[in-house]
Structure 1
Amino acid sequence: MFNDYFTEQEPEHIWVATDKEDKPIGYVICNTDYIRYKQLMNQIYYPRLKQLSPEDIEFFESFLLALDKVVYNHPVHFHIDILPGHQRQGIGHKLLDALGKQLISEEFETMMLYASSRNSVGYHFYLKYGFKEIHDYQNDAVALAYYL
């Protein structure tokens, strides 16, 4: 449900990693216009979410409020996910490299994400990749940006 926006509105900003059998093992998705993203999320995707998964409404609302604090300087935000059995093999790095090259060709200067915890494996991956903290949410969550 949270990915519907990306597959329907910005499929050109989706990268999928596959294994040797061509099965998906990870992806990175991003939007490049937060104002449009938020507008369509509220008009189209929020009602879907409310209908299909009302327990996720509070998370969704807090997520958008969190992004509001940083996106005007960093309008490109992304999500990345690699299956646990395929992590720490360079797949995330390759996905971010591909996304970064595309964003540079589209003349963007940064890409940003919301990390829910500094104690996560993902957080340490982002720092190693070169991301910098741009906002501290005071609940162990942070926004991180990578300067292309």
Structure 2
Amino acid sequence: MPSTQPTFTVRGYRPTDRAALEDICVRTAHAGADATGHYREPEIFPAIFATPYAVLEPELTFVADNGERAVGYIVGTADSTRYYAEFRERWLPTVADRFPAPTPPFAGADDGLRHLLHHAEDMLVPEIAAEYPAHLHIDLLPEGQRQGLGRRLMTAFTDALRARGVPGLHLSMNPANTNARAFYDRIGFTELPRPAGKSDVDYLAIRL
């Protein structure tokens, strides 16, 4: 019998998507590849970069669904300054016991991630957020790639931002993730000058 290709849909996030959201994040966290085996506790990645957005701003979380489960997502915020304040006040207390803050001196990437969880506001770059207040994270499993889903997720997200009158959107990314960079270039993001102290991260932005 001929194989049937899944029909992908892009839809709003549901609380039942949370496990899939977290799984996707782990499986794409190592410069676009699976973080499992590269970190002691790869499950910390969604605690920083995925789940808090779905909890704090679910209306700006969208998933790509293959008919059975989510295989990709876009998460973000309309106001980065507000988001990091809410992260500390509302989200961090729910995960701090699971991922305690490390004691200096830090030992490797895992301690660095724990430190970042407890100081997520360090990711805020005020001069960028002033001009491009929204930011995002987008990830797709291999089965959802090259299907046009990245562009569809981005359209759903940016349409929601425009409806709120948000003037600009930015993101930060690992320079090693060249496939993601090519995607952002194609849809009109431009590179920003690197802020002081951010030598290992690329910043891209687009006006809405």
CA distance in 1, matches of 2:180, 2:124: 18
Give how far 1:17 is off. 0.7
Query: After the TM superposition, which residues 1-148 of structure 1 pair with which residues of structure 2 at under 5 Å, given as runs?
Result: 1-2=47-48, 3-19=50-66, 21-54=67-100, 55=111, 56-60=113-117, 64-69=121-126, 70-117=128-175, 119-136=177-194, 137-139=198-200, 141-148=201-208
SS in 1 for 2:192: strand
Q: CA deviation at 1:119?
A: 4.5
Per-residue deviation, 1:4: 3.4
Unaligned stretches of 5+ residues in structure 2: 1-46, 101-110
Matched length? 146
Amino acid at match of 2:58: P
Q: Structure 2: how far apart are the matches of 1:22 and 1:16?
A: 12
Distance 1:53 1:4 in 2: 14
Q: CA deviation at 1:22?
A: 3.3
- Aligned residue identity for 1:93: R
The 2-side partners of 1:9 and 1:24 are apart by: 19
Q: Which has more radius of gyration?
A: 2
Q: Distance in 1 between matches of 2:124 and 2:176?
A: 17
- Give identity over the alignment, percent: 26
| Alpha-carbon distance change, 59 to 41 in structure 1, aligned in 2, over 3 angstroms | same
Structure 1 residue 35: deviation in Å?
2.1
User: What's the TM-score, normalizing by structure 2?
Assistant: 0.63
The 1:119/1:31 distance shift into structure 2, 3 A limit, reads: closer
Structure with the largest fraction of strand? 1
TM-score w.r.t. structure 1 length? 0.85
- Does the C-alpha gap of structure 1 residues 4 and 134 become closer, same or farther in structure 2, counting only changes over 3 Å? same
Per-residue displacement from partner, 1:61-117 (whole Å, max 9, x unpaired)? 676324324212211111111012221221101100111111111111211111121
2:115 maps to a residue whose letter is E
